[in-house]
Chains A and B, each alone.
Chain A
Amino acid sequence: MILDLERFVREGEPRWQELEALLTRLERHATAQPEVVELERLHALYQRTSADLLRVRGLPTEGRLRGYLESLVSRGYTAIHGVTERQRGSWFAWFWRDFPQAVRRRPGELLLVLALFWGGAAAGAGLLVTRFSEREMLFPFDGLAVRPSQRVQQEMEDRGRQVGERTGRFSAQLIQNNTRVAFFTFALGMTYGVGPTVLLLANGAYVGAVAADYVLDGQTMFLLGWLLPHGVIELPAIFLAGQAAFLLTGALLPRGRRAPVEERLRDVFPDTLAILGGVAVMLGWAGVVEAFFSQYHEPVIPYAVKIAFGVGELGGLVAFLRWAGRDAG
């Protein structure tokens, strides 16, 4: 005889149904901690059903009995082996400890990002200086369409009126756009580093060209007063997103390691997520500063005040990333 299927089903069905009901209850309340008694019963039923599945697998039965038992065993396996201790931690501890520690743990990636961005900036500035007459063709950006001195004149006459009526909306748009760019930069890490490299070089070239244009036109103070208050937070945030992207890239590349790619990726996720969380907070701050502070120029706010504010922020950021969370090990 192949198998007394009728008897097998008659005897097994009550415990299969009990297991199914128990699993359904546990899956519906995935975030709740199950009772020990429930877990013990689950384990016993799971083992009996696994044995039933083994018995059926070796025998020529119809597909649905095997399918039914497989689905029960897979759900049971997930429920039993998936019980993990939930990590608990405060937002404060994450921001004050995990984020700066993660940045410090991966200096190589950060140095690569800085080299790419500032290399791009130097190239952009160099191109603009050496081929000044072709600047609009080389850099077809709105920022270079108007001469810096004209822009400064317009801003001084406007006295912040244009942006004054919509600072809230403007700030939200800046936060949204910058965070989107930061997350996109990180996601491009999956392109084996090609995406973030291109993005950082291109952005660096743009910033370098704009900066050179303002300096050549004698508007260095305006430039510093305009960019420093938000730029000293916004640019490092993009650098850190790039650092997270290259962490991802580094995990994808074997570089002589024997660990499988899944394991290498799992190793870097805690740091990448800690960094990206910090990046989101930084960009929130930068968006508020850019809308409510950076857009107001002399005579509304003296350049010296804006520059001092930016330098203070930069010092604070460097100190935070350098020393915060050191005591925690």
Chain B
Amino acid sequence: MRGEGLEIRTPEGVPFSIPLAGLGARMMALGVDLLAIVAAVSVGMQALRAFEQLAPDAIGGVATLLYFGTSTAYGMVLEIWWNGQTLGKRLLGLRVMDGRARPATAVQMVVRNLLRPVDALPAAYLVGAGACWWTRHRQRLGDLAAGTVVVRTGETIRADWSQLGRERYNSLREHPGLAARLRQRTGGDLAGIALEAVLRREELTAEARVAVFGALAGRLRGLVEFPAEAVEGLSDEQYVRRAVEVLYTAPR
């Protein structure tokens, strides 16, 4: 039942998915937030100590309310102010959103934070963690009630598409008929995997690189047999790169 992402279809009919935050990341963000609360209260207490001699009882009362107010309002205020993020969520690349992938409203932020005590039951957020584990969109009870989800925002990762740059000379293109057959016979999955391998080859270890390109070259060679002069002296990796270029770029 648990999904990896929040599936949305825009009014224009474009489907997309937003990755949901995992339990570990959320717990770490919570830990950062607790530290931030303790730090903020400590700073406030230090400031209050300067006036303690003047009115010790009043300062004691203010200190009590400072701690209570900070710990209660921290999540609500920061999530409203920072568009669904607290300090912990910002550091961990998480964000609270409406369940329809829209920004959560102030009311939703307040509600999900007010219901935190139930999620914290019986100790250490066991109820909340259990709810996150079981629910489809990894929601704690506060999220379920408020209609919010916590998603991963992280930096948008762009692939280095320059790696797809054309080879100066592609011997496979010398045989347009066979190249067309290769495009025709290569299934979508195999083409996608080969492209992924080419774009990510620098991330592979030497052994993995040899193994991956060996396997892919074997599959691609089996689909179309190019003349010996077109593939002579090509390593498996070179063969796959040229095949991917044939599959994904137009002839000049």
Residue ranges of A at the interface with B (Cβ–Cβ < 8 Å): 1-7, 9, 13, 20, 27, 30-31, 47, 50, 53-54, 57, 59-65, 67-68, 70-75, 77-78, 81-82, 84, 87, 165-173, 175-176, 179-180, 183-184, 186-188, 190-191, 195, 248, 262, 265-266, 269-270, 272-273, 276
Contact = CB atoms under 8 A, between A and B. Distances in A.
B165 interface: yes
A213 B189 CA distance: 79
B77 interface: no
Contacts of A170: 61
Contact of A30 (B15, B103, B118, B188): B103
Contacts of B82: 30
A81 B101 CA distance: 9
A47 B114 contact: no
Given A168-B60, A184-B117, A81 B102 contact: yes
B62 interface: yes
Nearest to A269: B107
A-B interface, 5 closest residue pairs, ranked by CB to CB distance from nearest: A60-B188, A168-B61, A30-B83, A172-B61, A82-B103
A77 B107 contact: no
Contact of A4 (B62, B63, B158, B248): B248
A50 B58 CA distance: 59
B114 A183 contact: yes
Nearest to B127: A190
B64 A172 contact: yes
Interface stretch (B28-36, B192-200, B210-218): B192-200
Given A50-B14, A71-B157, A169-B61, 17 more contacts: A1-B250, A4-B248, A4-B249, A5-B195, A5-B249, A31-B81, A60-B188, A63-B192, A64-B157, A78-B102, A166-B57, A169-B57, A172-B68, A183-B72, A187-B114, A195-B118, A273-B107
Interface string B151-181: 0000011110100111000000000000000
A183 B57 CA distance: 26
A77 B15 CA distance: 11
Given A172-B62, A265-B147, A68 B18 contact: no
A74 B114 contact: no
Contact of B64 (A75, A176, A195): A176
Contacts of B116: 187
Interface string B95-136: 001110111011110110011111000000000000000000
B192 A191 contact: no
A9 B16 contact: no
B191 interface: yes
A166 to B, nearest CB: 5
Nearest to A31: B81
Contacts of A4: 248-250
Interface residues of B, number: 68
A29 to B, nearest CB: 9
Interface of B: 8, 10, 12-18, 55, 57-65, 68, 72, 81-83, 97-99, 101-103, 105-108, 110-111, 114-118, 141, 145-147, 156-159, 161, 164-166, 183, 186-189, 191-192, 195-196, 199-200, 247-250
B114 A186 contact: yes
Nearest to A60: B188
B137 to A, nearest CB: 12
26 contacts: A2-B191, A4-B250, A27-B83, A30-B83, A30-B103, A50-B14, A54-B13, A61-B248, A65-B159, A71-B156, A77-B101, A78-B97, A81-B101, A167-B57, A168-B55, A168-B58, A169-B61, A169-B64, A176-B65, A183-B72, A183-B117, A186-B114, A187-B117, A195-B118, A262-B99, A273-B110
Given A2-B248, A4-B249, A173-B64, A74 B196 contact: no
Contacts of B250: 1, 4, 7
Contact of A74 (B16, B58, B147, B199): B16
A262 B59 CA distance: 44
B192 A60 contact: yes
Contact of A57 (B15, B62, B97, B108): B15
B247 A74 contact: no
Contacts of A169: 57, 60-61, 64
Contacts of A73: 10, 14, 16
Nearest to B82: A30
A13 B189 CA distance: 24
Q: Name which of A1, A31, A75, A166 has the most chain B CB atoms within 10 A of its CB.
A: A1
A190 B145 contact: yes
B68 A180 contact: yes
Contact of B195 (A47, A62, A81): A62
B165 A77 contact: no
Nearest to A164: B57
Contacts of A5: 161, 164, 195, 248-249
Given A64-B199, A68-B157, A262-B99, A6 B247 contact: no
Contacts of A60: 187-189, 191-192, 195
Contacts of B200: 62
